[in-house]
Chains A and B, each alone.
Chain A
Amino acid sequence: ETGVTQTPRHLVMGMTNKKSLKCEQHLGHNAMYWYKQSAKKPLELMFVYNFKEQTENNSVPSRFSPECPNSSHLFLHLHTLQPEDSALYLCASSRDGQGGYGYTFGSGTRLTVV
């Protein structure tokens, strides 16, 4: 496996469900990110982890809970979501915690909340 891998690719969940998104990077990068992409809106940063420590939380509702057990793995735990949370969730990694080299994105998880 190379690059940034996200699973699942598609997820449909009810508002009372609990699910998790998984991201794994095989690039030896030290920083990982969760972004949300909704139709007709710019990419929205959700969380940043540098060397598995959370360094940014962009005022994300608590129904989204990130976890970063090591520099290669990142999870996004979801519970009691709302229909407006339906979007493409993108994981990304970068070589360092400064983002100066740009990001490598995973293929994303298309989430639908019903």
Chain B
Amino acid sequence: QKEVEQNSGPLSVPEGAIASLNCTYSDRGSQSFFWYRQYSGKSPELIMSIYSNGDKEDGRFTAQLNKASQYVSLLIRDSQPSDSATYLCAVKRETSGSRLTFGEGTQLTVNP
């Protein structure tokens, strides 16, 4: 079982729709959860962090965490073509020091 698993996609949504990106993790002791956005040929950029169960909203982005189900998601409302990128889920485990474990990423395309 992969430590951090994401739907590989690609995921395609029309402009203005809600894009839903999902991530599951294997270590129940994981503490901190991050979503990074990576445009083609660029480096990852941190867009959301979440540490406790529930929802966290920042503009058009909402991160959702359910530790019991070992599940974290990212919702993008009113999707724009500029949101087209690969989204990486990253998890910090309690026993991993400063190491973040990344999923393979989900490629999102928002069609005008």
Contacts and interface: CB of A to CB of B under 8 A. Distances in A.
Contacts of A102: 32, 34, 46, 49, 90, 100
A33 B43 CA distance: 14
B99 interface: yes
A55 B98 contact: yes
Contacts, number: 62
Summarize B's interface: helix, strand, loop or mixed: strand
A98 B98 contact: yes
> Chain B: interface residue count, which band?
20 to 34
Contacts of A55: 97-98
Given A41-B104, A43-B88, A99 B44 contact: no
A56 interface: yes
A interface, size bucket: 20 to 34
B98 A90 contact: no
Nearest to B44: A105
B107 to A, nearest CB: 11
B43 A45 contact: no
Contacts of A50: 98
B18 to A, nearest CB: 24
Top 6 nearest A-B pairs (CB, nearest first) are A99-B98, A43-B102, A105-B43, A42-B102, A102-B34, A102-B46
Interface of A: 31, 33, 40-43, 45, 48, 50, 55-56, 90, 94, 96-108
Given A31-B98, A102-B49, A105-B36, 19 more contacts: A41-B104, A42-B101, A42-B102, A42-B103, A45-B99, A48-B97, A55-B98, A56-B99, A90-B43, A90-B44, A94-B98, A98-B97, A98-B98, A99-B97, A99-B98, A99-B100, A102-B90, A104-B46, A106-B43
